[in-house]
Amino acid sequence: DSGVTQTPKHLITATGQRVTLRCSPRSGDLSVYWYQQSLDQGLQFLIQYYNGEERAKGNILERFSAQQFPDLHSELNLSSLELGDSALYFCASSPGNTGELFFGEGSRLTVL
């Protein structure tokens, strides 16, 4: 158990819909990261927040947005969903700005 909690574990929705994925980092970790793992792309960095502020951005689509709240939990919002958005979305946390990340079990999104 990494200490990082992601909900929901599985989500099935239709094209055009909007979903929110939630992440609770390990206690005390200030950094939260979102990664997307799709079959053909592998693990791709989406975005990082540090203590409520956006710290780094990857190839995150404009249809996607994220935020980190004062209690340090984070949400990833995916809108106008397309079939290609079907993937495993991982949240990870770390105490600082280090590559030693603690990953959650992921949220599997299926867009039909």
Partner 1 sequence: DQQVKQNSPSLSVQEGRISILNCDYTNSMFDYFLWYKKYPAEGPTFLISISSIKDKNEDGRFTVFLNKSAKHLSLHIVPSQPGDSAVYFCAAATGGTSYGKLTFGQGTILTVHP
Q: Site residues (CB under 8 A) for partner 1? A: 2, 4, 31, 33, 42-45, 48, 55-56, 58, 90, 92, 94, 97-106
Locate 75 and state its tokens. 């949400």
3-state secondary structure of 53: strand
User: At closest approach, how far in Å is the CB of 17 from partner 1?
Assistant: 25
Query: How far is residue 62's CA from residue 59's CA, in Å, rounded to a whole number?
Result: 9
User: At closest approach, how far in Å is the CB of 102 from partner 1?
Assistant: 7
Q: Which residues pair with 5 in a beta bridge?
A: 24
Q: Which of 33, 6, 18 is closest to 108 using CA atoms?
A: 6
CB of 34 or CB of 78, closer to partner 1 = 34
User: At closest approach, how far in Å is the CB of 110 from partner 1?
Assistant: 16
Q: Which residues pair with 68 in a beta bridge?
A: 74
Name the burial class of residue 79, with classes exposed (0-12), middle (13-18) and buried (19+) by CB atoms within 10 angstroms of its CB: middle
CB of 16 or CB of 58, closer to partner 1 = 58
CB of 18 or CB of 57, closer to partner 1 = 57
User: At closest approach, how far in Å is the CB of 50 from partner 1?
Assistant: 8
